[in-house]
């Protein structure tokens, strides 16, 4: 009997060990890639951030400790770019959130041919960054753009510099336009997850559309909104491509001060001036900032995000 038990209990162990081995074999491409292309570069970047590495000269390479980090905190350029990034984030995320939620509500109507409209709503999000930027360059160009031509009709000679001194607003417009479709489909999925019984019950109790939205739909959507806020903040903090391409001529030169975002400065420090060590320190500070921000947003979660009682446990 004891022997039989031993056999029975040994077999599952060897089977689970075999399965565990297979599991690791299957995920090994990702695991190796993760170590080589994420963990190692991050550690390497951190090591570089403690030196004065300039990308070329290994003979002058010196260990400088945390000096790059202390420099960053005193660098007026970093302060400027960080403030601009905060403005950019504060402008982009709420506008994008509200407009894509509105679009999702409009697209959630159950009428014939709604599929076509949803596709068209999503279309701007499909256009790659370079296509997006050129599409908007010819709209926002100071002298030859469509927007100023229309504004000129009402206020002659207005010529707003949407891509120069007012670039914060011009680039926000294009970034929001490009993100609306992507935001919409996530909200749409969220809206379709709101139980019909709840909406029906509220209607029978005499609630009008607005009150149903405010007291039923919106609270039920808070987990989705929360998710979108987190993703929106993270992507706003690391924005580089769109402002860079939109405000430089043929991708030569640097963006104007009004839209000189944090990542633009990092890119410029590394690839423009060759301050690799300093750039890596700035990059690590960005990671820290994004982490802190994400944690802060997660902290607010319990005050406004709806969760099923059972999920809490």
Partner 1 sequence: MNTLSSIEKPRAASAKALKRLSPFLSYGLLVVVTLLLLVPIIWLLITSLKQNIEYLSYPIVFLPAVPQWNNYAQVFAPVYNFLRHAGMTTVLAAAYSTLCVLTSALSGYAFARYRDVKATRRLFGIIIALLLIPSIVTMIPSFMIFAKLRLTGTYWPWILWGLGASPYHIFLFRQFFLSFPKELEDAAEVDGCTPFGTFWRIFLPNAKAALATSFIINFMWVWGDWLTPRIYLRADNTTLAVLINTVFVNPQGQLLTTLTISGIVIYTLPIVVIFFLSQRYILKGMVTSGLAGR
Looking at residues 47 to 66 of the shown chain, list those that interact with partner 1 (rule: CB under 8 A). Answer: 48, 55
Across 166-251, where does the E strand assignment appear? Answer: none
Nearer to partner 1, 3 or 29 (CB): 29
Determine, following the binding rule CB under 8 A, whether residue 33 of this chain makes contact with partner 1: yes
Report how far apart, in Å, the C-alpha atoms of 12 and of each of 4, 15, 16, 20, 165 are. 13, 5, 6, 12, 69
Q: Determine which residue in the list 91, 151, 185, 199 makes contact with partner 1, applying CB under 8 A.
A: 185
The DSSP 8-state label assigned to residue 259 in this structure reads G
Q: How far apart are CA 87 and CA 124, in angstroms?
A: 24
| CA 9 to chain CA mean position, Å | 50
Q: How far apart are CA 202 and CA 236, in angstroms?
A: 37
| CA 296 to chain CA mean position, Å | 16
Least Å distance, CB 224 to partner 1, is 9
Q: How far apart are CA 214 and CA 196, in angstroms?
A: 15
Nearer to partner 1, 1 or 311 (CB): 311
Beta bridge partners of 252: 249
Nearer to partner 1, 18 or 83 (CB): 18
Q: Determine which residue in the list 6, 10, 38, 306 makes contact with partner 1, applying CB under 8 A.
A: 38
Least Å distance, CB 19 to partner 1, is 6
Least Å distance, CB 238 to partner 1, is 4
Binding to partner 1 (CB under 8 A): which residues in 187-216?
Answer: 188-189, 206, 208
Determine, following the binding rule CB under 8 A, whether residue 288 of this chain makes contact with partner 1: no
Q: Determine which residue in the list 95, 207, 218, 286 makes contact with partner 1, applying CB under 8 A.
A: 286
Determine, following the binding rule CB under 8 A, whether residue 279 of this chain makes contact with partner 1: yes
Placement of tokens 């935001």 in the chain: 183
Binding to partner 1 (CB under 8 A): which residues in 230-259?
Answer: 230-231, 234-235, 237-238, 240-241, 245, 249-252
- Cβ-count burial of 93 within 10 angstroms (0-12 exposed, 13-18 middle, 19+ buried)? buried
Q: Determine which residue in the list 82, 96, 177, 226 makes contact with partner 1, applying CB under 8 A.
A: 177
- The 117-146 contact track toward partner 1, x by CB under 8 A, reads x-xxxxxxxxxxxxx--xxx-xx---xxxx
Q: Determine which residue in the list 6, 10, 11, 37 makes contact with partner 1, applying CB under 8 A.
A: 37
Q: How far apart are CA 201 and CA 146, in angstroms?
A: 49
At CA 181, angle to CA 159 and CA 294, rounded to 5? 95
């Amino acid at each position: 009997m004891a022997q039989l038990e031993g056999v029975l209990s040994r077999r599952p162990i060897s089977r689970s060990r075999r399965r565990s081995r297979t599991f690791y074999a299957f995920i090994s491409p990702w695991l190796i890639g993760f170590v080589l292309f994420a963990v190692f570069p991050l550690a390497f970047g951190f090591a570089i951030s403690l030196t004065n590495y300039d990308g070329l000269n290994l003979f002058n390479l010196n260990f400088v400790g945390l000096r790059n980090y202390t420099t960053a905190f005193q660098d007026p350029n970093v302060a400027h770019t960080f403030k601009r990034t905060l403005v950019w984030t504060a402008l982009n995320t709420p506008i994008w959130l509200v407009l894509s939620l509105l679009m999702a509500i409009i697209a959630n109507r159950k009428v014939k041919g709604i599929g076509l409209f949803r596709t068209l709503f999503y279309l701007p999000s499909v256009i790659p960054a370079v296509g997006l930027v050129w599409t908007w360059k010819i709209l926002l160009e100071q002298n030859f753009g469509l927007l100023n031509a229309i504004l000129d009709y009402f206020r002659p000679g207005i010529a707003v510099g949407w891509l120069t001194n007012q670039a914060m607003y011009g680039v926000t417009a294009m970034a929001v336009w490009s993100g609306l479709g992507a935001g919409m489909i996530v909200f749409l999925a969220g809206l379709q997850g709101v139980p019909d019984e709840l909406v029906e019950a509220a209607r029978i109790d005499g609630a009008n559309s607005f009150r149903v939205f405010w007291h039923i739909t919106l609270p039920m959507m808070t987990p989705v909104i929360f998710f979108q806020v987190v993703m929106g903040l993270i992507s706003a903090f690391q924005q580089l491509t769109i402002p860079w391409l939109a405000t430089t001529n043929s991708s030569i030169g640097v963006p104007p001060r009004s839209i000189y975002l944090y990542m633009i400065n990092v890119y410029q420090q590394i690839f423009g001036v060759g301050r690799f060590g300093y750039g890596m320190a700035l990059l690590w500070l960005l990671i820290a900032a994004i982490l802190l921000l994400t944690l802060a947003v997660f902290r607010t979660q319990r005050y406004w995000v709806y969760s099923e009682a059972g999920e809490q446990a």
